[in-house]
């Protein structure tokens, strides 16, 4: 914890194409959705507190959600074409899947910002003087806040995994690989978010309820992933 508490700057040397110099990339207070891909990866790779595991998990869920929305929209376009048995019946569900995936993508990117803010609170709490009588309570409160965000990320990941499994099973078969990628990515991000909840719960000796919720979300995502894998093995 102390290793990453030496500063809160979100500037980092640029390594993406066109910024190979040592000039810092000033991310400022922009939300995750406004980052360019290269500067986002530079920021993750830098020796600085954030973005870190929670933000990466959230972006992974958002990426999976985008894939689900794409597959759903292509699948909806098959309605009435006769190219796929049951396409017309799936069209309405595909539209709903796309809308849900879009909403989850927006939501979980906001959670990436919330995760960075929550982690900043944890670092600030640990930097408090050790003789401060309120330090322990402040750390515990900050860890509780930091545990809440990955629970939301795990919840979104589980929903994306389920939606992706549905799209893989009934959607456009030409995009089955994209749907499966979405499920696998969402499941991995849900696992990661759950472990972050576990870590914060242990460090703060917190109420186990948030971890139990995250574990339930993980189980949902794992089941969706297993369903996709079994479907693939049966073909």
Contacts of residue 175, Cβ cutoff 8 Å, sequence gap at least 6:
70, 71, 74, 75, 167
Share of the chain above pLDDT 70, in %: 81
Report residue 2's pLDDT band, with 50, 70 and 90 as the boundaries.
Answer: very low
pLDDT in tens, 4-24: 544 443 433 333 344 343 344
pLDDT in tens, 186-234: 999 999 999 999 999 999 999 999 999 999 999 999 999 999 876 555 5
Do the Cβ atoms of 64 and 182 come closer than 8 Å?
Answer: yes
Q: Between residues 26 and 226, which one has the greater pLDDT?
A: 226
Q: What is the pTM of this model?
A: 0.85
Contacts of residue 27, Cβ cutoff 8 Å, sequence gap at least 6:
10, 11, 12, 35, 39, 43
pLDDT in tens, 86-131: 666 777 788 999 999 999 999 999 999 999 999 999 999 999 999 9
Do the Cβ atoms of 171 and 94 come closer than 8 Å?
Answer: yes
Do the Cβ atoms of 211 and 183 come closer than 8 Å?
Answer: no
Q: CA-to-CA distance for 71 and 107, rounded, in angstroms?
A: 20
């Amino acid at each position: 914890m102390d290793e990453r508490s030496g500063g809160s700057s979100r500037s980092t040397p640029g390594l993406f194409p066109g910024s190979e110099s040592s000039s810092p990339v000033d991310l400022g207070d922009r939300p995750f959705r406004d980052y360019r891909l290269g500067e986002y990866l530079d920021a993750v790779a830098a020796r600085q507190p954030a973005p870190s595991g929670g933000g990466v998990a959230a972006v992974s869920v958002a990426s999976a959600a985008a894939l689900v929305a794409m597959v759903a929209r292509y699948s909806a376009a098959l309605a009435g074409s006769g190219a796929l048995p049951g396409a017309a019946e799936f069209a309405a569900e595909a539209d709903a899947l796309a809308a849900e995936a879009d909403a989850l993508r927006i939501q979980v990117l906001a959670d990436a910002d919330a995760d960075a803010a929550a982690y900043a609170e944890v670092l600030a709490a640990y930097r408090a003087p050790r003789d401060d009588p309120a330090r322990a309570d402040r750390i515990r409160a900050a860890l509780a806040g930091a545990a809440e965000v990955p629970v939301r990320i795990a919840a979104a990941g589980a929903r994306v995994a389920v939606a992706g499994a549905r799209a893989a099973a009934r959607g456009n078969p030409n995009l089955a690989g994209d749907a499966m990628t979405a499920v696998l990515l969402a499941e991995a991000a849900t696992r990661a978010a759950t472990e972050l909840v576990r870590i914060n719960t242990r460090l703060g000796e917190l109420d186990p309820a948030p971890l139990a919720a995250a574990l339930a979300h993980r189980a949902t995502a794992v089941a969706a992933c297993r369903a996709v894998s079994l479907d693939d093995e049966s073909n």
